[in-house]
Amino acid sequence: MATEPINMELAGKCVNEFGGAIGMPQLCGEWFGNQIFWLVVALVAIYFILSRVALPRIGSVLAERQGTITNDIAAAEDLKVKATQAEAAYDKALIDARAEAQRIVAVAKADIQADLDKAIAKADAEIAAKTSESEKAIAEIRAGALKNVEEVAKDTALAIVEAMGSSADAKTVAAAVDAQMKG
Amino acid sequence: MAGEAHSEEAGLVFHPMDQFIVKPFFGDGGVSWYTITNSTVWMALAVLAVFALLVLGTSKRSVIPTRMQSVAELAYGFIYKMVEDICGKDGVKYFPYIMTLFMFIVFANFLGLLPMAYTPTSQIAVTALMAFAVFFGVTILGFVKNGASFLGLFWVSSAPLALRPILALIEVISYFVRPVSHSIRLAGNMMAGHAVIKVFAGFAAIAAIAPFSILAITAMYGLEILVSFIQAYVFTILTCVYLKDALHPHH
């Protein structure tokens, strides 16, 4: 049975007379050298491609990306701190402005109060002056009236005395009227 | 048997293993060590794909990445984090080697899923070379870094004294089995998936079964996409674990 696979393989053949496989072609020693040679070539080629070009490049790209990300995160944190600071400054400005406004309001109120007080005092003084002037005028008017009353009384008395037929001295009449009025 | 399948008899014809045959890409003839074969071409395409993704994809070096660039960065971050997590800070300087293995395997696996493609990682010669490179590299590194104390890896100091020689024997055996399992896992997974797809494709010759065959191929293809990535991931993570053992041999 020269065509049994094991016999053909033992005879150092890798393929049968039709070019087909006998058993496992993987075990054909005749092809080992070729595969090993080209595998070594392929692996060395890949090794040089990787170690000279690809891996340093990818490594640097990854490192660069890591750096970019780290920088961006740091920048973002910076900005965040700045934003917080700006917020604090804004709050402070707001509080300051509010205090300032209150102060201004208080000052204005005090000013107005002072002006008001002054105006009231002035008005009071004017009123007082006017009152005293009026009182004086009233007193004068009253004094004038009394004097008129006296003269009218004297004239009337003198006229009455003359009408009663006796001549009367004006001075005597006046003195009598005065005495009556005082009494 | 494959020999019988090639005879002129009628009926279903399966050649699930033919896809793994290495043959010259240009013309016919023998396969000598320098011949450009189908395997060579697909390895070269994997190299080009790695170049396209990791070099052309990142050529703009944008801080805000394009799609290609973010995939490249994702791959970089994925393996870098894996190396850093497993091997620690001092393992990071071996990151390019591990990245090389991962990128080659992942692209070879995925390109192998294209119709008519050839999958270099389904070949035991390919995976064994990588696994033994890792094995010898890690072993030599372990002795260079730690001297004789690297052998402490096999001496489980946390176990009871009586058990330690037995554990040491088991540890030594498992250590030397590492490259075998490491390589066969990847090649076996890739080979099995592709062979199964081919078998299902063979059933499509019967009209009544063809729809199920196509469904099955679709399902297997989805599974293979998963396996392609997972096996690349597993190979890489095991490499990291072995490297960790070399850097910190004490349990």
CA B247 to chain centre: 23
Residue A2 in domain: no
Distance from CA of B71 to the nearest CA of A (A): 11
Domain that holds residue A153: 8-21+30-182
Contacts of A40 in chain B (CB under 8 A): 129
pLDDT tens for chain A, residues 1 to 183: 456 666 776 666 777 777 777 777 888 878 888 899 999 999 999 999 999 999 999 999 999 999 999 999 999 999 999 999 999 999 999 999 999 999 999 999 999 999 999 999 999 999 999 999 999 999 999 999 988 888 888 888 888 888 887 777 778 878 887 887 776
Domain boundaries, chain B: 18-247
**CA atoms of B131 and B9, how far apart (whole Å):** 42
Which ranges in B1-94 belong to alpha helices (H)? 2-5, 38-51, 67-87
* Mutation site for B-interface testing, chosen from A46, A47, A51 by largest number of B Cβ within 10 Å: A46
**CA atoms of B110 and B122, how far apart (whole Å):** 12
What total number of domains does chain A contain?
1
CA-wise closest residue to B69 among A62, A119, A151: A62
Q: Which of residues 150-209 of B touch A (CB under 8 A)?
A: 187, 191
Assess B52–A contact: CB distance below 8 Å, yes or no: no
Residue A123 in domain: yes
φ, ψ of residue A47 to 5 degrees: the values are: -60, -45
**CA atoms of B95 and B76, how far apart (whole Å):** 10
Taking only the tens place, the pLDDT of each residue in B127-183 is: 999 999 999 999 999 999 888 888 888 888 888 888 889 999 999 999 999 999 999
Contacts of A14 in chain B (CB under 8 A): 21
- Reduce the DSSP state of residue A15 to 3 states and report it: strand
Distance from CA of B222 to the nearest CA of A (A): 24
